[in-house]
Amino acid sequence: MCEDCGCGIVEGYKVETLVKGIKKSSGHSGQEHGHEHGHEHAHSHQQAHSHGAQTINLLNPILARNDRLAERNRGFLKAKGLVAVNLLSSPGSGKTTLLEKTLGSLPDELAPVVINGDLATDNDAERLHASGVPVSQITTGNVCHLDAEMIAKSLEQLPLEGRGLLFIENVGNLVCPASYDLGEDKKVVLFSVTEGEDKPLKYPPIFHHADLVIVTKIDLAEAVSFDRSAALENLHRIAHHSTILELSAKTGEGMEAWIDWLKALKPHPH
């Protein structure tokens, strides 16, 4: 988790929004953000020296600040009538392909916008923007997750009027994003048949907090000797309260159930 690796300290990121071929960009150095953390860290170290063996979790102030910003995002989105879905997975599980197949299949009341997060490049954002949907790309640089401040900056640039659904495609990572509330309504976790049946057992926090788990690339299950019953047993053990869907964005199998799940998400009344 971020508590261990220290990646909660944001050195800088870039927000670039694509709307009908027009790009709007802004960079955020994280200097002010880091300055605040510096005081918090110094204070924590002083406490550690003063109290001998007492252990201080240096990330607590960062997560507390993030949670406050996430609540602001949640209130802002509710006021705009938007339902936010946070898509999480390891790299290569098929988040972008799933979104590509989804964006054109939604009713008018769920007209979508997308925030896409990656360490580098805007390749995925360009792919999604080709569908005509407004997309905000967050290039995180050194950080392996999105946080609530990044989402707030993206929301400032996106055209939200008349939109009902916000997809947040998080950075490909099953560890650190589990710690960061973005202000979303639903967490959706993907894992592909190519990753092995024990993925939920290896990364329990992110699966445990999922509202929906999607097993992707089921068209490849036979080729990779995927043990479906073992995978579902592991999911029911870790994500026992979650809805579970199986699909292939490539062939379309199972996509209808995913679209129906999204349609059941009622936009917040203005």
Tell me the CATH number at 237.
3.40.50.300
Predicted confidence (pLDDT) at residue 148 exceeds the cutoff of 50: yes
Predicted confidence (pLDDT) at residue 226 exceeds the cutoff of 90: yes
Is position 42 within any domain? no
d(CA 141, CA 13): 6
For residues 212 and 186, the answer to whether their CB atoms sit within 8 Å is yes
Q: Which is higher by pLDDT, 39 or 256?
A: 256
Is position 63 within any domain? no
For residue 160, count other CB atoms closer than 10 A to its CB. Answer: 17
For residues 262 and 250, the answer to whether their CB atoms sit within 8 Å is no
Cα 155 to its chain centre, rounded Å, is 15
Task: For the chain, state the CA radius of gyration.
Answer: 19
Structure tokens at 5: 């690796």
Is position 258 within any domain? yes
Using the structure block, give the residue that is written with the tokens 């979650």. 242
Q: How many secondary structure helices (H) and strands (E) does the chain include?
A: 10, 9
Is position 130 within any domain? yes
How many folded domains does the chain comprise?
Answer: 1
216 bridge partner residues = 192
Cα 164 to its chain centre, rounded Å, is 18
pLDDT confidence of 9, banded at 50, 70, 90? low
Q: Which is higher by pLDDT, 50 or 142?
A: 142
Using the structure block, give the residue that is written with the tokens 């600040």. 65
Is position 55 within any domain? no
- pLDDT number for residue 44: 37
Is position 151 within any domain? yes
What is the overall mean pLDDT for the chain?
84
- pLDDT number for residue 68: 97
Q: Which of 76-80, 109-113, 143-147, 210-214 has the lowest mean pLDDT?
A: 143-147
What is the rounded average pLDDT of the residues 123-131?
A: 81
DSSP 224: T
Q: Which of 42-46, 83-87, 161-165, 204-208 has the lowest mean pLDDT?
A: 42-46
Q: What are the helix (H) ranges across the chain?
A: 2-5, 31-50, 60-80, 95-102, 123-129, 148-157, 199-202, 204-208, 228-238, 255-263
Predicted confidence (pLDDT) at residue 196 exceeds the cutoff of 80: yes
Is position 41 within any domain? no
d(CA 132, CA 156): 19
Domain residues for 126? Answer: 11-29+70-263
- pLDDT number for residue 129: 81
Is position 109 within any domain? yes
